[in-house]
Amino acid sequence: MSETELPDAPTAAETSELDEDDRLKPGFVRAVLDAVEEGDPERARALVEPLHPADIADLFELVPADQRAGLAHAVHDLLDADVFAELNDWVREELIDALEPHEVADIAAELDTDDAVAIIQDLDVEDQREVLRAMEPDDRAAIEEALAYPEDSAGRLMQRELIAVPEHWSVGDVLDYLRGNEDLTTDFWEIFVVDGRHKPVGSVALSWVLRTPRGIAISDVMKREQTLIPVDMDQEEVALRFQKYALISAAVVDASGRLVGMITVDDVVHIIQEEAGEDALLLSGAGEGDINEPIRDTYKARVRWLIANLFTALIAATVIATFEGTIERLVALAALGPIVAGVGGNAGTQTMAVTVRALATNQLTQSNTLRSILREMQVALLNGSTVAALIGTAVALWYGSPILGVVIGGAMLANITIAGFAGVLVPVALERFDQDPAVASSIFVTMITDSIGYLAFLGLATLALSRLA
């Protein structure tokens, strides 16, 4: 699409290797693999060379696991730090295992601390030590310091390369400082102003520095109201804070308030995406749920969940078993029960998904929990009445038994209403107990809707039958 629209502005997104969604075309991937298999690394290299690092990373994710080492060998000189920074965690680990420690060290050395840490923290302790030993002392010190912070914390996420200037400087001083120091990072979007104890007192967007005469004091153009990130803050909180306050970069401070690093939005974007996407996976019990995850890990993650669900299913089965007498008298109940349980489960899942989302985005707090419950109850009553009327009528007509229609309709209404209640209450309760609502909610909600569904339906049926008798 871009191709036809942007004839004379070549961009990474238009090179013919990519389709309109920026995905590598199957034909291209095959061509590269063929070249590798036919022992023609030069051709493979020629194909891969023009790709953006992010696309080279995609390429490695798209080729079969057993062919990645061969491809890596063929294009080893294109496998630079930027590519590794973009690689899927599982694929990256795999490639790094295939490399020599000193090769990993060379790659890590090129990276900003945050990306280097991302690579090294995945290695097992033994390899970590080897890689670190092979690094320059300064780099090693920076990495080791970062690794000292808890996993998924701001300390792991931040880069130490940043621009900090004393508050008494003028804009001119800043410009001279930036122009005079070759070795400063170029990956920054604002300048942090610090006091004598290296505590941030303000920040200046580069656009302001550019538009201010040299003579003006930096402290006169800096923004004093700034959002600081505690070094031990969880990355999910960091992501929410970046999003809420629309930050491009933010200063990271240690427990004593000193400036120790900087986090830029491009590092946070991945986390926002992962954290937000995680819910769909967690709610389904698929754990990390990555298609590159080793099968063993996937099996472990999922089977646990299925066994948990097996137990909840057994509870429902016990409920049904207690009504076997009723079912023997009217076997049709065996076919109808699952309808009540199933649709109730769906209703509960809807409410639960919305609640989990609202909790994750801080939309749902103590201030509006009660209101949300009332809201969901109203929705549940509306949904319940509608579905109950439909199934009640259908069953009454089909079996020519109005009473059976009333039984299933009543059970359906009851189950959907309770489902709506549980759909809010379960996640909220889990959150209060500092559990991730996305992880365990659906087990409980399904357990409730299954049991209540059969209990209500078969219970009402038993009463009705005894009436009829």
Residue-wise DSSP of 27-67: HHHHHHHHHHHTT-HHHHHHHHTTS-HHHHHHHHHHS-HHH
- How far apart (Å, rounded) are the C-alpha atoms in residues 294 and 289? 10
| Closest alpha carbon to 95 in 63, 143, 130, 126 | 63
Residue 135 or 171 having the CB closest to a second copy = 171
- Report yes or no: 167 and 201 within 8 Å, Cβ to Cβ: yes
* Beta bridge mates, 253: 230, 259
Q: Are 423 and 445 in contact (CB under 8 A)?
A: yes
Q: How far is the CB of 403 from a second copy (least distance, A)?
A: 18
Q: Which is nearer to a second copy, 2 or 121 (CB)?
A: 2
User: In angstroms, what is the minimal distance from the CB of 74 to a second copy?
Assistant: 17
Q: How far is the CB of 390 from a second copy (least distance, A)?
A: 6
Q: Which is nearer to a second copy, 105 or 174 (CB)?
A: 174
Please identify, using beta-carbon distances, which residue of 332 and 406 lies nearer to a second copy. 332
Give the residue with the Cβ less far from a second copy, 169 or 208. 208
Nearer to a second copy, 103 or 275 (CB): 275
Closest to 361 in 3D by CA, of 249, 237, 226, 235: 237
Smallest distance from a second copy to CB 460, Å: 16
- CB of residue 373 to a second copy, shortest distance in Å: 11
**Pairing assessment for the beta strands 229-230 and 200-205 based on DSSP bridges:** unpaired
Q: Among residues 317 and 463, whose Cβ is nearest to a second copy?
A: 317
Q: Which among 431, 421, 417 is positioned nearest to 364, based on CA atoms?
A: 431
Joined together, the tokens standing for residue 78 give 């294109």
Smallest separation, CB 216 to a second copy (Å): 11
In the complex, least distance from residue 308 CB atom to a second copy, rounded to whole angstroms = 9
CA 331 distance to own-chain centroid: 47
- Interatomic CA distance for residues 355 and 450, integer angstroms: 20
Q: If we measure between CA atoms, which residue out of 158, 148, 264 comes closest to residue 206?
A: 264
